[in-house]
Structure 1
């Protein structure tokens, strides 16, 4: 993208000094919201704690002094405390003409939020129709009054089916529009057994073993490729949801209806077992001797470790709790049923030890899948719903859980964030109280995004199904008089408490932001794009002005007459956080 550098403090200071004039256009707009609960630069850790009695009912009369919080065994001083509960949504005032915003209050309701995610990437085609049917039943019969809910679907990419609404009819309509999806790549299902003359019956034992080994190797390669595809797609979806929901304060419930999750949220435990690889993800167990394939699949999951850490940190920052719901429903322990032909992928009949091993592998696969769901829920402060056929009821329970919770915040005594995992422990003085919360977090140091990662991450954010809200900004766009080609001014006003200013010399604060404006035609083609960079250190007085008024940055883009989808983005290069905004634009003919 074409980018103009604005690298000196004087230029930025002049921009900030004009903010008061520009802000007159925003006088009828609401004041900027309070500082978000988490910004890595402040090292403030926020922990949601759900407290209930033995009857499962929420306990709402606990005080700050009733809680004790430890990090890695050391008690921490609780600096912020509050009881959060669902309330009536508050509608923000209308924005002035020509002003647009990605502030969450203009795109998401206040209070408890629930996201329903139908996972077609990690769920067999045969299970997806049943999932859709039961989720429609949930919307029609069990969705709580006033429950603000959005619906997303995950296939080759994340798609929004319905924005937040409390209307069950809209949710049911969105769920009805979902079509079961075949995987874009082989998801690990083994080859159909060879039949008749195409089988291995005419070969001697040595030849049959050789052919079977080659088929088994091919299947192993397919499984490993599918695993990599699923890991990348799932991580991208979690990252996108964190960007979308992160700017909205408070807890969010992500009800994830899936048949399996391709990685562990405990990054160091991303290890695929020998039995898992041999059994594949959804198909029958292939022939024996698959250690090389197990090693390859293990390598794929191990290389995902850093990505899992980053996504886990993003989800912690966004206060997203995951509620996995097993799309397979209630299954037997062995998965042996009449549909199984007792053959492996090479068409050979499994008998004796081979068949017993295949049944064992299938059981291990099921248990491992459910264990990963339980772990995902535990690590994010949610609950897993497995081994039940009433998926609609499971979704209802997950959506209602955690609507009342305590918010505890503290500044860790260990200031340096070294990327390690820090264990948390919360206890209360009152007996009989059951607590549920995240058991820990990754203390990841904010770092500048590498040049090679900048463009892919930006494209991912701009192509997301909803606005990213990790960096919050307003934009004033007033088209000039019609002309054959106009120079359209876009004025960004970035909320100062949603990006970082790193400490520098003599009290200066370093700011490193990128601004982007991209115009797409109605058929999705890029018409023009431009950008501007602000990488400078501000004196203390100018930084104080910026904190009070926000950072104003003008960016111009040249366009001919026509209808466009204008996509705006601001990225904080200190943290990698991104904010995006989509604005419809029509430039009239002269």
Structure 2
């Protein structure tokens, strides 16, 4: 068993090279067709302390309009849309219609006027990729025993979601080492599914083998950081793609920075575990007296030193919420939506090897599923959790990503201190349902500066 845990807690250096290589490839391949549309950045030509946002930053959001019967409305023009930022009306500068996965018409935003510079007129680039997918396989958070099921779910993408003409890429976070550059070759989905191997911890391993940390098991937080940072770098590169909806299919079983907190106190020590099963701490098992061997050992739940070492664990949920918020802000800036897929499906109960209380397992299950829901809902996507009909779920995603508008505007608020802006989109049609993201957040100045050199 120690050998198995050593394999799980050490990652090969080549995985980092492959992951970084795919992130760079995604940025190059999705950005190359659109380089001719990039305008000069006035923030880099003048004083870096002076930031002008009004009329400079094009904000885009995808909008899905359906009638009362749930049918997409494809005949809207820019005059039919009303866009509000923090309650203030904005002028629509660009409008793209994607219907059936193909671009039918495009209102390209005019280049910004810059004094003293005469620029030649730009031409729209003919990019036929109406849909762009990035598939993240977070195998660091998929249990090894769930590998066959995860592969079966992954293969359903080929039949129900990824179609001919769709541009997609695949990246993994763990030892599966899956790397597929942005491509139209759908056969690579099957070969990637064959390589998918879960490397996550199951509940029994979390209770018995995870070492405690100041804010929960450090191994779990480190694995989540790897997944979040990988996805953040990918969506940053997706910002180069304009006038398209970027869809991230997020395969993961969710996140919990401090699972089974009470059970791990007793599970990681044979003495504490025996005490729980033989003394007053284990009276629920029918034991009435403390074994004489453990009379002088303090209750680990009441020992002051043990309690001090666990004080930081109360912030574990807040840490997880903050990291999810940072990732979703980056996704909203790139107009990317997360569709989280839990390969566990509908969970009826723990595995047979789990020997802990059912309440602790339910808390762990709720936290992991709720983290996936947060990633999806905060980016305008959908969480596929607690359901086994993955084929129907992928068809629903297919419908949402095949028909949509991309509406763009230049913010009229030049104040850079207002980073988070509320969005509201209305349509000049009666009895229609309008679906769009509700907010976006400007990047910090340090984020715009780019990552530090190695």
TM-score, normalization: structure 1? Answer: 0.51
User: Shift in Å at residue 322 of structure 1?
Assistant: 0.6
Contact 2:245 2:406 in 1 (8 A): no
Q: Does 1:129 align with 2:148?
A: yes
Correspondent of 2:96 among 82, 101, 110: 82
| Partner residue in 1 for 2:172 | 153
Contact 1:418 1:444 in 2 (8 A): no
Contact 1:151 1:175 in 2 (8 A): no
Kindly provide the CA deviation profile for residues 234-273 of structure 1, in whole angstroms up to 9, marking residues without a partner as x.
22111221244332221111111111045xxxxxxxxx7x
| Partner residue in 1 for 2:75 | 61
Paired residues in the alignment total 355
- How far apart, in 1, do the equivalents of 2:376 and 2:93 lie? 27
| Closer/same/farther in 2, CA of residues 37 and 387 from structure 1, 3 Å limit | farther
Give the 3-state SS of the residue equivalent to 1:229 in structure 2: helix
**Relative contact order (alpha carbons < 8 A, sep ≥ 6): 1 or 2 greater?**
2
- How far apart, in 2, do the equivalents of 1:279 and 1:323 lie? 32
| Closer/same/farther in 2, CA of residues 310 and 364 from structure 1, 3 Å limit | closer
Q: Does 1:180 align with 2:219?
A: no
- How far apart, in 1, do the equivalents of 2:360 and 2:421 lie? 34
| Partner residue in 2 for 1:246 | 239
User: Shift in Å at residue 220 of structure 1?
Assistant: 6.3
Decide which structure has greater strand share.
1
Contact 1:140 1:172 in 2 (8 A): no
Kindly provide the CA deviation profile for residues 333-357 of structure 1, in whole angstroms up to 9, marking residues without a partner as x.
xx3564433x4xxxxxxxxxxxxxx
Contact 1:117 1:151 in 2 (8 A): yes
Contact 1:381 1:438 in 2 (8 A): yes
Q: Does 1:228 align with 2:221?
A: yes
Give the 3-state SS of the residue equivalent to 1:329 in structure 2: coil
Correspondent of 1:258 among 229, 252, 259: 252
User: Shift in Å at residue 218 of structure 1?
Assistant: 4.9
Give the gaps of 5 or more residues in structure 1: 1-28, 90-104, 193-216, 263-271, 344-357, 457-590
TM-score, normalization: structure 2? Answer: 0.65
Contact 1:129 1:180 in 2 (8 A): no
Give the 3-state SS of the residue equivalent to 1:58 in structure 2: coil
Give the 3-state SS of the residue equivalent to 2:401 in structure 1: coil
| Partner residue in 2 for 1:189 | 206
User: Shift in Å at residue 160 of structure 1?
Assistant: 4.6
Give runs of aligned pairs for residues 218-367 of structure 1, distance below 5 A.
218-219=211-212, 223-249=216-242, 250-261=244-255, 277-278=261-262, 289=301, 295-299=311-315, 302=318, 311-332=327-348, 335-336=349-350, 338-341=352-355, 343=356, 358-367=357-366
| Closer/same/farther in 2, CA of residues 52 and 187 from structure 1, 3 Å limit | farther
Q: Does 1:48 align with 2:62?
A: yes
Give the 3-state SS of the residue equivalent to 2:227 in structure 1: helix
| Partner residue in 1 for 2:280 | none
Contact 2:136 2:170 in 1 (8 A): yes
Give runs of aligned pairs for residues 360-439 of structure 1, distance below 5 A.
360-418=359-417, 420-439=419-438
Kindly provide the CA deviation profile for residues 332-381 of structure 1, in whole angstroms up to 9, marking residues without a partner as x.
3xx3564433x4xxxxxxxxxxxxxx433322332232232222112112
Give the gaps of 5 or more residues in structure 2: 1-31, 44-52, 105-124, 277-299
User: Shift in Å at residue 304 of structure 1?
Assistant: 7.1
**Aligned Cα root-mean-square deviation (Å):** 4.2
Kindly provide the CA deviation profile for residues 148-172 of structure 1, in whole angstroms up to 9, marking residues without a partner as x.
332222216x955323344432321
Give the 3-state SS of the residue equivalent to 2:171 in structure 1: strand
Kindly provide the CA deviation profile for residues 66-111 of structure 1, in whole angstroms up to 9, marking residues without a partner as x.
333333333333333332343389xxxxxxxxxxxxxxx99x9732
Contact 1:326 1:386 in 2 (8 A): yes
- How far apart, in 1, do the equivalents of 2:67 and 2:260 lie? 38
| Partner residue in 2 for 1:455 | 453
Contact 2:133 2:166 in 1 (8 A): yes
- How far apart, in 2, do the equivalents of 1:84 and 1:220 lie? 49
- How far apart, in 2, do the equivalents of 1:315 and 1:142 lie? 21
Kindly provide the CA deviation profile for residues 514-553 of structure 1, in whole angstroms up to 9, marking residues without a partner as x.
xxxxxxxxxxxxxxxxxxxxxxxxxxxxxxxxxxxxxxxx
